Amino acid sequence: MKYLLLYMALSCFAVLKGQDPGLSDSISVPPGSSITTDNLGNLFVITPTNDIVKYDKNGRKMATANFKVLGKVTSLDAANPFDIYVFYRDQNKVVFLDNMLNLLGEIDLEMIGVSQVPCIGRSGDNQLWLFDMADLKLKKYSKNLRLVTESASFNTLTIGPDILPSMIVDVNTSVFMLNQGKILEFDVFANFSKIKLIDTLQTFQCVKLMDSLQRLEFVKEKIIYLKGNQVYVFNTLDFTVKKSDLALPPNTRGIRIEKERLYVLTDEYVILQTFSEK
């Protein structure tokens, strides 16, 4: 049922209700905040002062953390809700947190001579993907900083001259990297596959949508992203892009979808909504 609702929401039958920020389905956040989610529907808000605040799917605050000595939070990867990766690029460190934002450990990338890392991501087996600007390679490390695999240098790949990745997402048998508006696809051994999508996107999310084929139903990955004030859906199988009819507030800065819930970041609020078919 949850996939059916999600499919409707991203096609043309869903609307966002209750956009009044005074309703109970909104959370006040400082301007300049960013958000992400985990697959349990929990919401993580990263504030401009580098507070990490966790809320459950109903907007109830669960935990707060701030590692002030590490400075600015570059990214937070909650793909595993019980082993959260937080990247501090200025300090070149990755911090690991549990589901209540307690510190589990950290790694210092300087220890292996890797000092120019624009982005990192959790691998499907709880190891670490990163991009090394020194030799322009996508690399996978274990948590004890043993090199597991690496790509060829991006200079040898057909991806264009501008190389400055900003996001890595490991999904099943693929690793997606966002590089200057392009989503690049690699396999789990860091072999380059193809340029998956070219657009003006700054971030994206992989979600599972349900399609029907005759009398059969199956779930497949799609990529959603925000452009302007519109949500776009990229089909990873047939490479088509469709603009959804999802109604968003005019000052939307980000979106996430988890567990029948839509999370919309505006300048001052995160609006939490369930999908409804109309």
Angle at 24 between CA 4 and CA 232, to 5 degrees: 40
- Taking residues 161-171, what's their average pLDDT? 93
Paired with 171 in beta bridges are: 174
Residue 209 confidence class, pLDDT cut points 50, 70, 90: low
- Taking residues 125-140, what's their average pLDDT? 97
**The whole model's pTM is what?**
0.87
Q: Where are the domains of the chain?
A: 113-206
pLDDT of residue 151: 97
For 266, the token pair is 């505006």
Residue 211 confidence class, pLDDT cut points 50, 70, 90: low
Contacts of 125 (CB under 8 A, 6+ apart): none
Residue 215 confidence class, pLDDT cut points 50, 70, 90: very low
The distance in angstroms from the start CA to the end CA of the chain is 16
CATH of 113-206, one of 1.10.20, 3.20.20, 1.10.150, 2.40.10: 2.40.10
Residue 275 confidence class, pLDDT cut points 50, 70, 90: low
How does pLDDT run across 26-61, given as a tens digit for each residue?
A: 999 999 999 999 999 999 999 999 999 999 999 999
Which one is predicted more confidently, 31 or 19? Answer: 31
Separation between Cα atoms, residue 18 and residue 84, nearest integer Å: 31
Averaged pLDDT score across all residues of the chain: 86
Percent of the residues in the chain that have a pLDDT greater than 90, as a whole number: 71
Exposed (0-12), middle (13-18) or buried (19+): which is 272, by Cβ within 10 Å?
A: buried
Residue 212 confidence class, pLDDT cut points 50, 70, 90: very low
Residue 11, pLDDT above cutoff 70: no
pLDDT of residue 213: 41
